[in-house]
Amino acid sequence: LALLDDRAILAIRNSLAKLTRRRVKPVAEPARMGHPGSSREPALRRTRRWATGVYAAVVVLIGAAQLENSFGFRSTGQGPVSWLRRQLAPFMLVNSYGLFRVMTTARPELMVEGSIDGIEWRAYAFKHKPGATDRAPGFLLLHMPRLDWQMWFAALSEGDPPRWLGGFSEALFRRSPDVLDLLAGNPFPEDGPRYLRMLALQYRFTSRAERAETGDWWIGARKRYYVPIMRWEPAAGAVPSSGADRP
């Protein structure tokens, strides 16, 4: 879980306290039942043990085949294991889902910049995602910085920008305190920006030699405009800027 509130933590603590106070006495099996595997063991228990063993064997077999595919070994799909996987696929006994099971090999990031005159641009600094190239990566525990996280997903998208970015841009124009509190700083403390732009950059870690020379943790190369430059109009709100209205 990314975040637990105080009530959830309190409920977990109370549940653990009840478990530690509970005393369960072991119940001795009747002598007539015998040991597991003996002829006196109930038939139902033997059947359950066999069924569990068969199920575990099938799950391990299919799981091993999927793990093999994850490492790039592709089967012809004609063997008995492939046939078994196809037959059992509707039951979803085993699947290869995992959050970030396969990680991206590149680090696209969005840089948000504002301007008063359309000439001088100031960047908005985020609390956790890469920005200034000389800032070291941080460590996060228990809490997920949702805005920084969503900005990364937006940078990974190839299609149209997500709709929430429009509301985010308008909140920056309006200097919304709730939104600005999510950022590491406000480059426009006295008056809001007239223009906003978002740039897509490709970040990577510096090599040992590069960091020794520059002291930077990151290298960020600009790729393209992520969204067109936006202009703030009090009556109309945020509108695309054609370029002719900028100095």
Q: 222-235, pLDDT tens digit by residue?
A: 778 888 898 888 77
- Amino acid 65: pLDDT: 78
Taking 50 as the threshold, does the pLDDT of residue 164 lie above it? Answer: yes
Confidence band for 12, pLDDT divided at 50, 70 and 90: confident
CA dihedral 94, 100, 105, 107 (to 10 degrees): 160
> Strand 107-115's sheet: what is its strand order?
122-123, 107-115, 195-205, 218-233, 237-240
Q: What are the φ/ψ torsions at residue 190 (nearest 5 degrees)? A: -100, -40
Q: 42-87, pLDDT tens digit by residue?
A: 788 888 889 898 888 888 888 887 777 766 666 666 778 788 878 8
In the chain, the amino acid numbered 39 is S
Which residues have a Cβ under 8 Å from the Cβ of 75 and sit 6 or more positions away? 65, 68, 69, 81, 82
Q: 141-150, pLDDT tens digit by residue?
A: 777 888 999 9
Q: Supply the DSSP symbol for 89.
A: G
* Average pLDDT along the chain: 82
Q: 107-141, pLDDT tens digit by residue?
A: 999 999 999 998 999 999 999 999 889 999 988 77
How many CA within 13 A on the CB side of residue 197?
19
Q: What are the φ/ψ torsions at residue 110 (nearest 5 degrees)? A: -105, 135
Tabulate helix, strand, coil % of the chain (nearest 5).
35, 20, 45
Tokens representing 178 are: 């709730």
- Amino acid 247: pLDDT: 41
Q: How many CB atoms lie within 10 A of CB 118?
A: 17
- Amino acid 74: pLDDT: 67
Taking 90 as the threshold, does the pLDDT of residue 182 lie above it? Answer: yes
- Amino acid 196: pLDDT: 94
pTM over 0.85: no
